[in-house]
Structure 1
């Protein structure tokens, strides 16, 4: 007992270390004084919508000129090649025209004056009204807005900067829109480590952006404003109409384009400041200070999970150590040989057969797993010390209905288990981190494709255990069912996003590449795994054969019926993870940083979740068998994944109470992708529940056979 406590303490200490550990990059880029630092435009995004847009494609920003940057050789307007994860997350990275030179401060510099018509003006107002922020990148760091913690002890970053402000002069007045046409960039640097530092080189450890709106007038001949620090007026997005409609009441601005335009001047400032106490390997910490501040709540989530898991462990221990063993001992007191249970007759009970019959009395053949007939209820009432789960031993391994569907689901679930475990391990050890842009999606996709071997293997073994013979058909269903469902859903949703001209839309070439990964790589791997599992390894053996005629199932209690059992069983795993889910949801949809960092905590909670799912499924299966209901195959799978019902409900509650997402397409994306995520989660945990229940059932009925 004491050793277990020590192990738990060591494990928690390890978690405390890993939650703050990551590998921020694979190579350090250092700069000399005077070196050109490229600035990249990426995208704009908002907490109020699921649609993202490429920054360079906005109609009101300065278009790239196509000139070559001195020193770097990069051409403005050139797009960078992106990995699969970056494309799927909506990144569209392009070289900008901004000039950044290490160590050279620019108090004010003119970029361009861009002319927009009424359509461009309308678009500018829309992105400001929807709260869009822009993401620029310098040295792989996103441009950030600087904040201070509630106790004012630490500064932290939130990725992105606001494109403008919506202003109401009075509660009843129409809104005014001001665009941020001037940005002040602060590049924070530190002495480069090693020999580069000795040579005077520096590394970038921070990139802050402070936007400001400055009026178009009151500027000199170079386009610079007279006062940058305290401008008198902002750059309001408004165009005076050239004319009015026929009746003279409604301005053209409301009804159409009259040819009027608005010219927006863009300027910027650059300052380089040394940050003595921030090392390069810790530069991403600034984006996670807010998450670190909530570490006490993370520990509360772990304690909550441990308490629930501990109670369940006690229940399972009682079932296994006392109830099941006691039942087996009582049931096998008189022996169970060759799959036949010999049970005492109660005193004065008359055998339905004559005592001189060659094959013995009916009670001597009770539960014969090779018998041709079931046992009547009158004959069952003659059994002594034989109740509950022991009565269904002749039917418990009967293949389930629609086993040809359950087997592919289990196979796909094992594919997801492998992918999720790989991502979690790589994240906890810092290999996958925010500096590896798009890494989670790219690596996850690679792991999912490679795990096709596991999918085919487990699916084929389960399929053959159910008595299936057409293993090629099973392989085809396994390789196409879940991936096909996911791809079809994403493709249909993508049509809606395409219609919105959003960068969230997956390009056609990427869709073709995904289909190639699916059909040319994953399908052959599923086939190889399926062939090995079906032909080489074969089915799992059962300790007891099934009766030919199925046993009649008695009327079930309310808590063992499907819907009630799923809701009751699913609530317990949900209670284990709901606190950590709050942080995941907040990171995805509320924090502008968009990064979830404390994977050490998530790893611990996920481990406890898996243990909880296993224990809940075992308890639910045992209760079901004690109710003489032997249809446990599908039930165990559904019980294992039932917490996904509660998670989707929690997601719906979060949408209506915490988020401000507006628009039909954004809401459609939110709920459809949320449903797919819950479906994938349910498939993963359902597979874990199924395999754990299967192992439990084989163990307890194998113990009867052995005794």
Structure 2
């Protein structure tokens, strides 16, 4: 208990030390509901521009849209910055609660060749603009051709489109903001009566983009008041804007563009504030197919794991009974299989034992971080309403749980009778973060050269350095210190000084074949859920089914453990006691299938046509697969280690 209190106190002190530097890093937006009065100003924020074809986000005002004379940025947390969000809180779009505003003018932009080329390039690359009202992202209603009555919603709206080989710009936006009203009985101050209170809250934010070549009389005014009161023959209350092919705002044929908008307030009696995100999380109607697929794969994996466990227990029970029963001397000579390697099975690995200990420690660290993150997600702290909270949780939990890596690594390294404890701790502290940070630096340089919002600002760059060197590395040393203080793990059998020779192995026990085969079932356990994660990550959708993800992780842990135990049993039955690295690689090999799946997903689901976009894709997927490799590898090692301890402590050794 004292050790736990010391570690908790140290973590708390470090957390307090980093608070002044984080600048809102723990801010969770949208938690508390806000009520509006009629006529009250409602702020519209603009966010980044995104494209699934390039995967490179840009600042909204990187295109020549309407913008105020001075752009004011919104405070963002670490997660928002890392995913490329850049939110500006002042725009030329004016919204007043429950006040209908048709045919409002935002601005007029004169188009030169450079501005036209920017818009044309953005349209060709299918960029979408993202707005925010009351913490709700803008969404566009889409239709499923197979189910016309069952609509779904897509975040953001397109910059423009192509018609007859000409590029047109969506310069008129119809904002449809839904609100919900509740009547509440509030006691008066004196307590003698009841006062009726009306609470109005925003519960939806949809837009309809239109392209129209506006027509007006006379010359364009210079006074701002006159601009706001401009009248158009192409837009009025009686004749709302529609997308007509003969009046599209084509960039090739026009040298000016007038940005206009409608504000339409719609009362939604069926959607309370607590359920306003249901619309955004509904997704494509075909999602039901994936729900059934997840359930089916879950049942199959549980069934296979149970069958493997039953067969394994029965076989081991027979072996242990035969080995432990009193037999004649001549019968003892016929002993074979896993008992013959009892004096070598716990011999430390000859190949890179320090690296092995560091990889196991990193895997334990990532596994603990994964489960803690999922617990927070299941409790609702990491919902999509809290922008950037999921990425922020990943970073902070990784940093503040680093002591698990040092503790697990030191325990393994001490079991191997290692003596260079400081070097082992340093390798553990820099193994996973070093690989990830190296990839991050390369990607950050690439996106910074393109002017993308993914490029990390200098202040946040030094914040990450501080979190790594100032908190994570010291916590690894703290965990290592407590790990080294504990006595070394004792094995149930003694290890001989001279190693036993390994007999020739059958072809089906070749290490490469065993390792590759072992990763199939763990990959199958998460393949369906992986599709949802990839879709959310690369098609800019929300991921919110954390319950199924938690179940998939549990199945993954069970499957990795079962497969590794089976392969380790076959290995030692063939008198091959070199199971340390193979147990790690057997379960970790499912990361290979994830990387191969990412290549298939790129070919079938994505259309990335930018070199930097391809770098981002494979860079992120490399980090993802490396994380998966360490996490599942640690699961396999501990399963095999527990299995060997159990069976060799159950036999009588002379």
TM-score by length of 1: 0.82
2:54/2:610 contact within 8 Å kept: yes
Counterpart in 2 of 1:140? Answer: 135
Change (3 A) 1:193 1:410: farther
Q: In structure 2, which of residues 160, 172, 176 is the aligned counterpart of residue 186 of structure 1?
A: 176
Give how far 1:626 is off. 1.0
Give how far 1:582 is off. 1.9
Counterpart in 2 of 1:367? Answer: none
1:392/1:625 contact within 8 Å kept: yes
Farther off after superposition, 90-99 or 140-149: 140-149
Give how far 1:558 is off. 2.4
- 1:632 matched to 2:566? The reply is no
Distance in 2 between residues matched to 1:679 and 1:40, nearest whole Å: 37
Distance in 2 between residues matched to 1:291 and 1:452, nearest whole Å: 39
1:337-348 equivalences in 2 (<5 Å): 344-346=328-330
- 1:460 matched to 2:410? The reply is yes
Counterpart in 2 of 1:499? Answer: 449
Q: In structure 2, which of residues 474, 489, 503 is the aligned counterpart of residue 524 of structure 1?
A: 474
Give how far 1:134 is off. 0.6
Counterpart in 2 of 1:8? Answer: none
> Can you give the 5+ residue segments of structure 2 that lack an aligned partner in the other structure?
1-27, 187-194, 221-226, 236-240
Q: In structure 1, which of residues 471, 485, 488 is the aligned counterpart of residue 435 of structure 2?
A: 485
1:108-147 equivalences in 2 (<5 Å): 108-147=103-142
- 1:316 matched to 2:309? The reply is yes
- 1:163 matched to 2:159? The reply is yes
Q: In structure 1, which of residues 322, 325, 333 is the aligned counterpart of residue 317 of structure 2?
A: 325
Q: In structure 2, which of residues 74, 80, 84 is the aligned counterpart of residue 86 of structure 1?
A: 80
- 1:151 matched to 2:147? The reply is yes
Q: Does the residue aligned with 2:650 lie in a helix, a strand or coil?
A: helix
Distance in 2 between residues matched to 1:219 and 1:159, nearest whole Å: 36
1:43-442 equivalences in 2 (<5 Å): 43-58=48-63, 60-66=64-70, 77-95=71-89, 96-148=91-143, 150-167=146-163, 169=164, 175-192=165-182, 194=184, 198-218=196-216, 222=227, 223-228=230-235, 229-230=241-242, 232-238=246-252, 262-290=255-283, 294-320=287-313, 322-334=314-326, 344-346=328-330, 383-384=333-334, 386-401=335-350, 402-442=352-392
Distance in 2 between residues matched to 1:662 and 1:553, nearest whole Å: 52
Larger radius of gyration: 1
Change (3 A) 1:153 1:216: closer
Q: Does the residue aligned with 2:651 lie in a helix, a strand or coil?
A: helix
1:621/1:636 contact within 8 Å kept: yes
Q: Deviations over 1:398-422 (max 9, x none)?
A: 0012110011111111111111111
Distance in 1 between residues matched to 2:103 and 2:196, nearest whole Å: 32
Counterpart in 2 of 1:248? Answer: none
Distance in 1 between residues matched to 2:182 and 2:370, nearest whole Å: 36
2:183/2:197 contact within 8 Å kept: no
- 1:541 matched to 2:483? The reply is no
Counterpart in 2 of 1:9? Answer: none
Q: Does the residue aligned with 2:247 lie in a helix, a strand or coil?
A: coil
Give how far 1:669 is off. 1.1
1:291/1:597 contact within 8 Å kept: no
Q: Does the residue aligned with 1:90 lie in a helix, a strand or coil?
A: coil
Give how far 1:432 is off. 1.2
Q: Deviations over 1:55-107 (max 9, x none)?
A: 0222x2122234xxxxxxxxxx2101110000000000001221100011111
Number of equivalences: 600
Change (3 A) 1:546 1:224: farther
> Can you give the 5+ residue segments of structure 1 that lack an aligned partner in the other structure?
1-22, 67-76, 170-174, 241-261, 335-342, 348-381
CA RMSD in angstroms, aligned pairs only: 2.1
Distance in 2 between residues matched to 1:645 and 1:219, nearest whole Å: 65
2:107/2:260 contact within 8 Å kept: yes
- 1:607 matched to 2:554? The reply is yes
Q: Does the residue aligned with 2:356 lie in a helix, a strand or coil?
A: helix
Distance in 2 between residues matched to 1:448 and 1:428, nearest whole Å: 18
Give how far 1:159 is off. 0.9
Give how far 1:589 is off. 2.5
Distance in 2 between residues matched to 1:645 and 1:493, nearest whole Å: 22
Distance in 2 between residues matched to 1:513 and 1:541, nearest whole Å: 42
Change (3 A) 1:548 1:600: same
Q: Deviations over 1:498-536 (max 9, x none)?
A: 11111111222211110100000011111111000112x
